[in-house]
Structure 1
Amino acid sequence: MLARLLHLEGIDVTVFEGETAPNYRSQGGTLDLHTDTGLAAMKAAQLWDEFLKYARYDGQYLAIVDKDLDHLFVRHPGNGKEIAGESPEIDRSRLRQILTESVPEGMIRWGRRLKKVEGKALVFEDATETGFDLIVGADGAWSKTRQAVDPNLQPQYVGVGMYHLTIPDAEETAPETCKLVNRGSLFAHSEGQRLTVQQMGDGSLDVHVTFRRDDPDWMKEEKCGIDSTNLDQVKKELLQKDFSGWCPELKDAISSAEGPCVPRSHHILPIGTHWEHVDGLTLIGDAAHLMTPYAGEGVNLALEDAMLLAKAIVNAANGPNTLDEEVRQFESNMFVRAKKVQQLSDNLCKDWLFTPGAPRSDASYRPSLRMDNSQAPLISNNRRDSEAEFEDEDLSSEIGIAQPKSDRPGLFVLALTFAAGISGLLFGYDTGVISATLVSIGTSLSNRSLTSLDKSIITSSTSLFALLISPFSSVLADKLGRKRVMIYADILFLGGALIQAMSNSVLVMTIGRCIVGSAVGAASFVVPLYIAELAPASHRGRLVTLNSVFITGGQVVAYVVGWLFSAFGSKATAWRWMVGLGGLPAAIQFAVVLFMPETPRWLIKEGRMNDARHVIQKVNGSSHSFDIDEVMREIELEAREEDLAQNSRPGDRSFLAGWKLLFSEGKHRRALAIACGLQGLQQLCGFNSLMYYSATIFKIVGFSNPTLTSLTVAVTNFIFTIVALGLIDRIGRRRILLYTIPIMTVGLLLSAFGFSFIDLSASTITTRAEGTGSAGHGGVAATIILISIMLYVASYATGLGNVPWMQSELFPLSVRSKGSGLATATNWGANFVIGLTFLPLMDLLSPSWTFVLYAIVCVAGYVMIWRIYPETAGLSLEAATALLEHGWGVR
């Protein structure tokens, strides 16, 4: 894999292989490649199509049984490719074939048996090879390269022995065993023994018979009393001793086996293996982190090693870091990744083979952060009463899975989230307060009434400056820190609010709005980033989504404030208090943020390790069991991988390189089209025109207290935003849009229908149906408009108000930042257009036709979503981005 990846990047590489040919020995059974590791590496190596030729999605069947054939767990295969949670099986020999055939002939030098490594020289039995910039030891459990890296790193025996057996032509020679395996895998266990049977692509069954043995040399004839390579003697020994108490159906898997018979002992490197970096040398795969096979992660981890090391080497080739600096960083990150999997595999080994009463008495599989849930079933409690068979989704309720801890986030994290969320409240407040302000200003600005153009400029200037400032926020956040950008945003919020409150002309008012827009642009980027980087991983999603709740909550507060001042305040100064009060939350947040910590990610990036350690400790709290050094290394890994992804293209590291990558590949262009299309639709459907001008609309149609009436819009938006948080993952992104956009369209058309009955004159409002109407009550048409707008807002908040912000799911890591940034800029640009054109359109086309225009946009958006937006709910980021690999991914 490493050779393939480096070859694609034009880097010279030579592979020295000790075996004389690709098929020199059996490669073992099947394995499942996992989404974020093995499958990601295959795609990075441009071998995905080749992999699909041999991938066996039907091989995902898994049955876990005890020695009496009581089924403890059954997982059935999915219905298609790249479904959430699916990890297709592939024969190890086929995977080896794909990889060896993917490099040019001659790159692999077969039959070169390594004796030792001296400096940067490889000493073989027949010659010595020199002239390497980097030697990578991928030479397995008994690595000779490892001895040069650290002679003290020696494999340790874990007390487990194993025979590898085969049943060829299994459907004819062992039909009953084939039925049990069902083209997938069968895991059978009792205390001290394990039997694994897997269906191979050629129809044979691969059988691994595992048992406890105290002596690592147990297979020697003087130790075991038999010839451990003699199949007949081995089968007799196993059936009469270790597996004598097992049911006949399972013992048949042993008795039906034919040669060859391969004995093995399981060895591991210590959990958390690490070494001091040696210039010019490194290790990957089993050479770096040898473990037992029970987690099913060894090959996946090795492929991920190759993928990340290739990125490090490519990055070094393009500067500015040296090769050894890049490799040193790779090793540091690998130690963190490997430790988790080593610990998982060790736990499983103990659960399966060393726990009294296993497998029923303890967890037979433990969930892993690196494994899909479907890859990590967990058997628990003491169900001895009856046989049970369960689908994945019923497992937790039926057999008592010990679910991962899901406690609530600590008070410290909640306090930081709420403090940072004040920026969202300010954003929402500004969006909502302008509605009441525009109907209250009167002639206070420039000693005249505001024209439609004045109102449009005052309103849209905020969006324009948010659009202009937002792209620079990421640069400032990286250079100055997330916390400092929030402080600067608060200063802008406060200054903009005061300028608006004291303004006496349209120009000064617009300047104040521009300053507030700059604050909105900075805060809308940095606050979700701050929360995401600070929050513990188990609570990150929920805490980040709270920002949306703060925004809609701020709109509710704005309408309440607007109504109170309109109803009870002085007409001359009420609007000044409305906009001026926006500075109060900013001042409070400014005072609080001064005492808030910076995010650990930024601190580590700046080399402030002690400060980062303190923040991590405080965020996780004393009640959590975690390795703080591991958490810090994970953060380093995240930052490093992001940097590697952005600089992985040889020969072009200019500012434009990332943008070229975004537009040069079809899958990236498709992701960009969807993300920008959704963000544009979110604004061009006209929603924010209602938020900005709802009081103006309700005044036109005849409500006596338009500001109070507007409060219903804000409350509806707030309530259904909360509703959306519980539906967006359960129903799915695509489906929720296809359900709600038609309702939005109906709401807009009903509004247009209602407006058609209202006669708009210079001084009075009458309804065509009634001849004359009360401007104080609005009549039936006004009620229709209010109800239809509430219907529109409810459906918008449930779907289109939230789904576009899932845009990062569509982009691979290498272009995620730029793609998401461009999509966000599309949102602000469309927001500016809507704010600027709404009132002129009302004058030019009439309210009815303006709402019809927005309805047409919704219909066009529905067609777009139906044709090109795939369902991403429940998929990992890798699986979601893979949907756009060869098309739009719509099924």
Structure 2
Amino acid sequence: MAQAAVGSADGTEAPLLPSSGAGTPPQQPAGAPRWNWFAFVCTTLASVTTMLNGYNLTLMSGAELFMREDVGLTDAEVEVLSGSMNVFMLVSILAAGWVADKLGRRRTLVLANAFLMAGALAMSLGDSFTALMAARFITSVGAGFARVVSPVYNAEISPASTRGVLSSMLDMFINVGILLSYVSNYAFSGLPVHLGWRVMFGVGVIPPVFIAAGVLFIMPESPRWLVMRGLHGDARAVLLRTSDAPAEADLRLGEMKRAVADAEPPHAAARHGGGASVWKQLLVRPSTSVRRILTCVLGLQFFVMASGVEAILLYSPRVFKAVGMASNSAILGATVAIGVVKTCFVLLGMLFTDRLGRRPLLLASTAGVAVTTAALAVTLYIGMSTTSSSTATAAACLALVLAVVATFSVGYGSVGSASYTAEVLPLRLRAQGSSIAMAVNKLTAALVSMTFISLADVITMPGCFFLYAAVTAAAFVFVYTRLPETKGRRLEDMELLFDK
């Protein structure tokens, strides 16, 4: 029987997208989902905005070597400027859930790209610590919007069979951005001091223009947001293009409608942009399942950043100098290797997240980071205790830094930072819940990045990494005892999982 058009909230009919061939398309056999290219394109566009987040965040690691001389920055100013982005992002992170529910996921991503473009331009033109801090704030607003809304959009539009890999794409793009920042540091390091670091930031002006255009002209709105607004016909049209089969599209639409109906009173506050009841359900009177979900996602976001990887990403040149690397060219070349390894292992984690599951990757990651970080601390202690520099010690230090980054990226980097959070939060709470989770992530990242230099002066650099290793060992226990597996589950079933 041919499918009929479906009415939307305003009484008009939303035509369904034509299927290939006449009549009803054949049903997909159970257990044999097809790769959905349209969902892949949509999640790619949503995720690529976060590439600029990674680029701007870690560009300081190499740029500060030249900004010190050109602008006259002190150690304290470098520490504040490097970590300030994580603090400033809290403004837009906490507002992102409300904005995404009010404007929609798609328009919020366009807004994010506008701020990222303006911030990159302002950074490239900055000529004082104050001006650079103001530019960093502008960049952070766009980065915060992207970090909250991209994983929410990806989780909401992806079919359950490939949601793990599609939701993890943003982590890959963040790491591509980190890699590009290290390549930019290396490529432009030969320019005059007053020009090189400005070009590093300036090249970030152009990509947001093309990304925003792609979001506007290619990406549809999230079907779950459309259902929250009562636009059921529009939601079904999107679901037909992003589901494994038409029957799954109808099933997903029905589940979304029931989830909204069960969660909302007749006046539908969230449908009209109201957020007070959502915050009440999250923080004031959460249900047992919501309380368990929040414990899991907030704990996971804390441990992701408390592992100390932010210190490596931002201050690896200092780590390498501590064991005898003297050449800026060699140091910046080593940071490029960090970016390459991080990106490759995030991609590896993405490929296995729907095959192995989220828990195995997270457990392997926490165990690996704890062991390799402790080994790095021992190597730094040996290297910094000797009076003469050793090529072997420097090589061992680089190898262990790469090992920390690899073990972090395969689990924490591909699953922990965003996709697991977006999966387990209920529809009605997903945007604001993701805001809170990302706020915890960035507060912890700021704590690590803005204290590393000072903490190393007090407990030494090896002491810092021993501390990070101990925290990550605690993270292994947390993941093992608290986090359930979500592989293959529909988003609307997550609360039942946490009711057990």
Bin for the TM-score computed over the shorter chain: 0.7 to 0.9
**Cα deviation, residue 485, structure 1:** 2.2
**Cα deviation, residue 689, structure 1:** 1.6
Native 8 Å contact 1:686 1:834 kept in 2 = yes
More strand by share: 1
Equivalence for 1:644: 261
**Cα deviation, residue 584, structure 1:** 2.2
Determine whether 1:856 maps to 2:470.
yes
Determine whether 1:561 maps to 2:184.
yes
Select 1:409's aligned residue among 8, 15, 37. 37
Equivalence for 1:464: 87
Matches of 2:494 and 2:145, distance apart in 1: 29
Letter in 2 for 1:438: E
Structure 1 residues 255-654: aligned runs within 5 Å = 403-404=32-33, 406-407=34-35, 409-410=37-38, 416-445=42-71, 448-451=72-75, 453-531=76-154, 541-566=164-189, 568-599=190-221, 601=223, 612=234, 616=238, 637=254, 640-647=257-264
Would you say how many aligned residue pairs link Structure 1 and Structure 2?
Answer: 481
Select 1:695's aligned residue among 303, 311, 317. 317
**Cα deviation, residue 422, structure 1:** 2.9
Letter in 1 for 2:474: A
Native 8 Å contact 2:73 2:129 kept in 1 = no
Equivalence for 1:720: 345
Matches of 1:858 and 1:686, distance apart in 2: 9
Alpha-carbon distance change, 572 to 730 in structure 1, aligned in 2, over 3 angstroms: same
Letter in 1 for 2:321: K
Equivalence for 1:665: 287
Letter in 1 for 2:260: D
Native 8 Å contact 1:497 1:516 kept in 2 = yes
Alpha-carbon distance change, 618 to 595 in structure 1, aligned in 2, over 3 angstroms: farther
Determine whether 1:772 maps to 2:394.
no
Determine whether 1:806 maps to 2:434.
no
Alpha-carbon distance change, 710 to 637 in structure 1, aligned in 2, over 3 angstroms: same
Q: Give the superposed CA RMSD.
A: 4.2
Matches of 1:666 and 1:741, distance apart in 2: 27
TM-score (norm 1): 0.48
Alpha-carbon distance change, 640 to 550 in structure 1, aligned in 2, over 3 angstroms: same
Letter in 1 for 2:388: T
Native 8 Å contact 1:536 1:619 kept in 2 = no
Matches of 1:786 and 1:838, distance apart in 2: 19
Letter in 1 for 2:397: I
Structure 1 residues 865-880: aligned runs within 5 Å = 865-877=479-491, 880=494
Native 8 Å contact 1:646 1:658 kept in 2 = no
Q: Which string of whole-angstrom CA distances, capped at 9 and with x for unpartnered residues, describes residues 542-588 of structure 1?
A: 4333222111111111111111112x222332111111211121233
Alpha-carbon distance change, 478 to 732 in structure 1, aligned in 2, over 3 angstroms: closer
**Cα deviation, residue 694, structure 1:** 1.7
**Cα deviation, residue 275, structure 1:** 13
More helix by share: 2
Native 8 Å contact 1:810 1:880 kept in 2 = yes
Matches of 2:61 and 2:154, distance apart in 1: 30
**Cα deviation, residue 615, structure 1:** 7.4
Letter in 1 for 2:346: T
Alpha-carbon distance change, 749 to 677 in structure 1, aligned in 2, over 3 angstroms: same
Matches of 1:796 and 1:275, distance apart in 2: 46
Alpha-carbon distance change, 593 to 673 in structure 1, aligned in 2, over 3 angstroms: closer
Native 8 Å contact 1:421 1:547 kept in 2 = yes
Select 2:372's aligned residue among 747, 758, 772. 747
Letter in 1 for 2:108: V
Native 8 Å contact 1:599 1:615 kept in 2 = no
Letter in 2 for 1:772: S
Structure with higher RCO (Cα < 8 A, 6+ apart): 2
Native 8 Å contact 1:724 1:798 kept in 2 = yes
Q: Which string of whole-angstrom CA distances, capped at 9 and with x for unpartnered residues, describes residues 630-676 of structure 1?
A: 96x778656644433432599x9995544444454333222211211
Q: Which string of whole-angstrom CA distances, capped at 9 and with x for unpartnered residues, describes residues 182-201 of structure 1?
A: xxxxxxxxxxxxxxxxxxxx
**Cα deviation, residue 523, structure 1:** 1.4
Native 8 Å contact 2:255 2:492 kept in 1 = no
**Cα deviation, residue 722, structure 1:** 0.9
Native 8 Å contact 1:680 1:827 kept in 2 = yes
Equivalence for 2:405: 793
- Where 1:599 maps in the other structure, the secondary structure is coil
- Where 1:807 maps in the other structure, the secondary structure is helix
Native 8 Å contact 1:429 1:556 kept in 2 = yes
Alpha-carbon distance change, 440 to 615 in structure 1, aligned in 2, over 3 angstroms: farther
Letter in 2 for 1:643: V
Equivalence for 1:711: 336
Letter in 2 for 1:798: V
**Cα deviation, residue 420, structure 1:** 3.7
Letter in 1 for 2:203: L
Native 8 Å contact 1:559 1:711 kept in 2 = yes
Native 8 Å contact 1:563 1:708 kept in 2 = yes
Letter in 1 for 2:53: F
Q: Which string of whole-angstrom CA distances, capped at 9 and with x for unpartnered residues, describes residues 425-453 of structure 1?
A: 211211231211122212222xx3421x2
**Cα deviation, residue 539, structure 1:** 5.7
**Cα deviation, residue 835, structure 1:** 1.8
Matches of 1:481 and 1:518, distance apart in 2: 17
Q: Which string of whole-angstrom CA distances, capped at 9 and with x for unpartnered residues, describes residues 776-835 of structure 1?
A: xx5222222211111111111111223323124444555444444322221122122122
Q: Which string of whole-angstrom CA distances, capped at 9 and with x for unpartnered residues, describes residues 247-301 of structure 1?
A: xxxxxxxxxxxxxxxxxxxxxxx9989999xxxxxxxxxxxxxxxxxxxxxxxxx
Unaligned runs of 5+ in 1: 1-269, 277-324, 337-342, 348-362, 374-395, 397-402, 760-766, 887-891
Alpha-carbon distance change, 449 to 815 in structure 1, aligned in 2, over 3 angstroms: closer
**Cα deviation, residue 729, structure 1:** 3.2
